[in-house]
Amino acid sequence: MVMGSPSTQESSPRGPRVTTRAESRNSGTWDELALENVSMTFNPGKPNEYRALANTTIKVRRSEFYCLLGPSGCGKSTVLNLIAGFAVPSSGKIRIGERQVVEAGTDRVVVFQDATNALFPWLRTHENVEFGLSIQGVPKREAAQRAAKYLDLVGLRDHARKYPYELSGGMKQRCQLARALVLEPEVLLMDEPFAALDAISKRIMQKELLRIWQQFRMTIVYITHDVGEAVLLGQKVAMMRKGPASSIKEEFAIECPYPRKPTDEVVTAIYARVEASLQDEVGVSLYAA
């Protein structure tokens, strides 16, 4: 999880105005998160120049669960970093409603794949969850109460005083998720958060994430390499082209109620279409001959 300062700007005759997180949350005016003709080139003008994204346009509705899928090296994490405000696009713009994203901020929080390195090993579970609130200047008692609420939400109430090394892989990811949720972000950015978990823990965490999303209805942008995971979780799945100069190849809307099962007719049909698109993109069969 990464936090930052207020992160959006609005244009005015006198120049851009910083919009605070409180204004953003209370305005209720934005209806979509959008990347508009975004290109991203690393090391421009140098021998190792690399164009990761080319004229990429993405539109995510407010409160939508949006999955981003594609082959390795296609720029998925670059998209996530740009939305988070960790980098500035070479061209194009990123906006939340009419407000342009220009830097990192607490209205957008990232959950990483490697929870072990994302958590502070010298802090107990509840202290890890309270950390972001302390950075914001939230009084210690209030921070403890809010942390307890979200630890309970993710099922870690009885493990609040444990250190990260005492937690299982799934518990560490729950802790990281609680640390993100306690900030009450508008947008939750997730970079393959369950990829390192065993199959059973992964299914449990997917179910828990859906439960939390349905309760709070934050916007989620979720990166995955797993077609099955994308189809079971997402309201919309976007397939990216292989890099370099990647962009969105196509999107699949999934009109199927939750909870979903791999055997649901709609799920299996969408799975086949997404799998075919991925196979076409990588240029080789994903199955043995």
195-221 pLDDT, tens digit each: 988 999 999 999 999 999 999 999 999
Structural domain containing residue 127: 113-184
Higher-confidence residue of 139 and 5: namely 139
On whether residue 137 sits in a domain, the answer given is yes
On whether residue 130 sits in a domain, the answer given is yes
On whether residue 71 sits in a domain, the answer given is no
Whether 155 shows a pLDDT value over 60: the answer reads yes
Which whole-number Å values give the CA distances from 264 to 38, 64, 254, in the listed order?
36, 21, 12
Q: State the sign of the Cα–Cα–Cα–Cα dihedral 26, 31, 33, 38.
A: negative
pLDDT of 196 reads 86
- Mean pLDDT score, 278-283: 87
On whether residue 278 sits in a domain, the answer given is no
124-152 pLDDT, tens digit each: 999 999 999 999 999 999 999 999 999 99
Overall number of domains in the chain: 1
- Mean pLDDT score, 26-45: 88
Helix (H, G, I), strand (E, B) or coil at 55: strand
How far is the C-alpha of 146 from the C-alpha of 254, rounded, in Å? 34
Whether 160 shows a pLDDT value over 70: the answer reads yes
Whether 19 shows a pLDDT value over 50: the answer reads no
62-92 pLDDT, tens digit each: 999 999 999 989 999 999 999 999 999 999 9
Whether 27 shows a pLDDT value over 70: the answer reads no
Model pTM? 0.87
On whether residue 149 sits in a domain, the answer given is yes
On whether residue 38 sits in a domain, the answer given is no
pLDDT, mean over the chain = 89
Closest CA to 95 of 45, 33, 137, 163: 33
On whether residue 171 sits in a domain, the answer given is yes
